[in-house]
Amino acid sequence: MKFKIIIIGKTKENYLQQGEKEFQKRLSRFCQLEWVIVKEQRFDANTSEQTIIKTESESILSKITKDDFVIALDRTGEQMTSEELAVFLQKKMNEGYSKITLIIGGTFGLGEKVLKSASTILSLSKMTFTHEMSRLILLEQLYRAFTILNGSKYHKA
């Protein structure tokens, strides 16, 4: 299975970069990971939030292929337990999907076109996280899902 994770901008915080690298390394036992960075648009007095969302959304959409099973991460999405995520991913693998594309928006979230292009919209939590923290949380949850599917002791239910 291959996961393409589309993100806005590079992770700036060193501690988050270290966490991302650690879980990317751990995930390499279970799947291929492609990290796609879309240029972050700068917010200033001359640029509206909607302009930023539109520009970032167009960049995101250009990175998606028609064969991708797309999961957009958004606060309005469905929430799953770690076990439910594992079952969901197993189901997608059983259905023949070899690549899943996950999208994490920038500071202002994802545009309507991106959300409509998604096969599934998923929420990590009812709480709000920075988009940089969401990357690490997503990687950890993917790792946890694979350890659940493989009977590892990492997940303690």
- Look up residue 136 and give its amino acid: L
Residue 114 in domain: yes
Containing domain of residue 20, as a range?
A: 2-33+54-149
Rounded CA separation 44/67 (Å): 36
Residue 47 in domain: no
Residue 14 in domain: yes
User: pLDDT-based confidence at 44, cuts 50/70/90?
Assistant: confident
Residue 64 in domain: yes
Whether the per-residue pLDDT at 42 is higher than 90: the answer is no
Task: Quote the distance between the C-alpha of residue 148 and its chain's center.
Answer: 19
Mean pLDDT of the chain: 94
> What pTM was computed for the model?
0.94
Residue 45 in domain: no
Whether the per-residue pLDDT at 9 is higher than 80: the answer is yes
Residue 78 in domain: yes
Task: Quote the distance between the C-alpha of residue 76 and its chain's center.
Answer: 14
Give residues with Cβ within 8 angstroms of 82, minimum separation 6.
141, 144, 145, 148, 155
- Give bridge partners of residue 79 from the DSSP assignment: 123
User: pLDDT-based confidence at 156, cuts 50/70/90?
Assistant: confident
The domain total for the chain is 1
Residue 155 in domain: no
User: pLDDT-based confidence at 11, cuts 50/70/90?
Assistant: very high
CATH number at residue 84: 3.40.1280.10
Residue 143 in domain: yes
